[in-house]
Structure 1
Amino acid sequence: MDITYSPVTELNLLKDLQDRIGYENFAEGFGLTEYGDLSGLVAGWSDDPEFTGRLIPFAQATGGGSFYALWKIDDRADLATLPVVVFGDEGGQHVVARDLRELFQLLGFDTEISVDWDSAYFYRDEDEPHTDGRDEYVAWLDEHFGLAVATDPDAVLAVAQEELGKRFADWAGPFLP
């Protein structure tokens, strides 16, 4: 396992998978990026250290430039248990998962997340073929975490939003245009 990518075991395992089967090849639009690279936040959102100091970008969420970040809601040691937020390339920022493992279940749905000012959601046309590495990803998810793909991503998003959405919006609001 490549422990040089990040201090998060779950992300290091995913990086190994991505290195083996390819960027954007196991979840449409998704790819791990440089862990902790704040350039997207500073360029499009805020450069306030109180804002950037509580977010850890780690992945492209869409081919258009949306990205995922861990939100340091508190000072817990296990970064994999932090909420995951998405920042849309055309605006909008939302909590999408209560932790990395929930995000991993969402990724198995194998479609880009849609992000707008009011919401984030997944839509998949059942006639669309899955990415080439999706089956390997599903097996990886089960092997490493004993998890299955989210069959109802809207329900996962709804739980994360219900539990953490307002808190994130209240925290992020003063930093955003």
Structure 2
Amino acid sequence: MSDVYSPVPELNLLKEFEDSLGGRFFAPGFELFDYDLDLDWFCGDAPDAYLDRLIPFAYATSSGSYYALWRCDDRTDLATLPVVFFGDEGDLWVEASDLRELFRSLAAEPDDHEDRARLAPARERYLAWLWEHFGLTPGDSSDDDEGVALAEYTRRFADWVSEFAPEDLLDQVLSALDLETPTA
């Protein structure tokens, strides 16, 4: 039996790092959970064709929101798949174009002063880990190419969800993604 966390080397490195922190957090609310956890817990009665394209891997907030890789195509390098945020209150968006972009965003300094103080030691270790393993620094939200890529993934994600969602749910999804409901 293998003790490898996942088939994604980047997530395995992150799991190893997270385990080294002894239960401390390096980013507000972020915590890996069992890789490819059964989505029935998250998505209820969604069709298998929908569930088969989502790979949940981490809590995004302490209130139950989570991140999942979205199999938007059949690429074999799972680390290059877009990361979708599923909010516990219905929020939904494409968070990152790939895992490395998510890792950069997790490195951002928390807005909340108490979080900054509480997370500072582990965050400093995370910044060093991020640089050592990937040569990355915290993300810069002004990257135009990144914004264009996220907008394209968001449009594709909405198109994909429309294959499965009944009209009322699709309206909610499009609203959460800040997209217009198409008119006939």
Q: TM-score, normalised on structure 2?
A: 0.78
Equivalent residue for 1:11? 11
CA contact under 8 A between 1:95 and 1:160: conserved in structure 2?
Answer: no
| 1:70 positional shift | 0.3
When residues 70 and 92 of structure 1 are mapped into structure 2, their CA distance, relative to the original with a 3 A threshold, is same
Cα deviations across residues 4-58 of structure 1 (Å, max 9, x unaligned)?
Answer: 2100000000000010104461111000011001244333xx5211110000000
**Which secondary structure state, in structure 2, belongs to the residue aligned with residue 76 of structure 1?**
coil
1:137 aligns with 2:109: no
1:61 aligns with 2:60: yes
Equivalent residue for 1:42? 43
Mark the runs of 5 or more structure 2 residues left unpaired by the alignment. Answer: 170-184
User: Which of these two proteins has the greater Rg computed from alpha carbons?
Assistant: 2
| 1:109 positional shift | 1.0
| 1:104 positional shift | 0.1
| 1:150 positional shift | 1.2
| 1:89 positional shift | 0.2
- Structure number with the bigger relative contact order (C-alpha 8 A, sep ≥ 6) is 1
| 1:174 positional shift | 4.2
CA contact under 8 A between 1:23 and 1:31: conserved in structure 2?
Answer: no
CA distance in 2, matches of 1:98, 1:28: 20
When residues 50 and 72 of structure 1 are mapped into structure 2, their CA distance, relative to the original with a 3 A threshold, is same
Counterparts of residues 64-79 of structure 1 (less than 5 Å): 64-79=63-78
Q: TM-score, normalised on structure 1?
A: 0.81
- Letter of the 2:34 counterpart: E
- Letter of the 1:162 counterpart: A
CA contact under 8 A between 2:28 and 2:115: conserved in structure 1?
Answer: no
| 1:157 positional shift | 6.9
CA distance in 2, matches of 1:6, 1:50: 21
Task: Give the aligned CA root-mean-square deviation in angstroms.
Answer: 2.4
